[in-house]
Amino acid sequence: MGITQIIWLLPGLFVGSFLPWYFFEEPKRIVKTYGAYAGAFMEIISITFLLRTLVSPWKSITDEYPDNRMNIGGIAQSLTLNITSRIIGFLFRIVALTISITIQVTLLVFFTAYLLLWFLYPGILVAGIAYLTSTSL
């Protein structure tokens, strides 16, 4: 295959293979990768589960209320332990929820920037070459 045949085939390869890959296949792969990472982090620290169990007791530590309703001391002791357990659970879940939302937002920002740079890279490359060729050394 001579050099003229190769040069003759390049535009067809560029339009037929490279452009669809660059503008359709690779961005689709980037979005699928984002979905996989977001799903994995959502499995690790589930926002919906944390919201559903936000005021549940920490590690299910609770105390049964006494059968004798006249035992004010026992009722107060059980109430104090139950409220304390729920407050501790609430605080831990709020921290986990904050971390999970922060991870998801950070992931979205980085993948959006990556996708944007992927589309802008040819223009940046052409602008950089134009700038380098136009300046005097």
Q: How far apart are CA 75 and CA 66, in angstroms?
A: 6
Average pLDDT, the chain: 88
Q: Is the pLDDT of residue 30 over 70?
A: yes
Q: Report helix, strand or coil for 45.
A: coil
Q: How far apart are CA 24 and CA 111, in angstroms?
A: 16
Pull the structure tokens for residue 106. 């950070």
Q: Taking a C-beta distance cutoff of 8 angstroms, is the pair 118, 25 a contact? A: no
Phi-psi region of 59 (alpha: psi -120 to 50; beta: other; left: phi over 0): left
90-136: pLDDT as tens digits: 999 999 999 999 999 999 999 999 999 999 998 999 899 889 888 76
Q: Where are the domains of the chain?
A: 3-134
67-97: pLDDT as tens digits: 888 889 989 999 999 999 999 999 999 999 9
Q: How far apart are CA 7 and CA 3, in angstroms?
A: 6
6-19: pLDDT as tens digits: 555 666 666 677 78
Q: Which amino acid is at 61?
A: I
Q: Is the pLDDT of residue 21 over 90?
A: no
Higher pLDDT, 107 or 20: 107
30 vs 24, 26, 46, 54, 113, CA distance in Å?
A: 10, 6, 23, 34, 11
In DSSP notation, 8-40 reads HHHHHHIIIIIHHIIIIIHHHHHHHHHHHHHHH
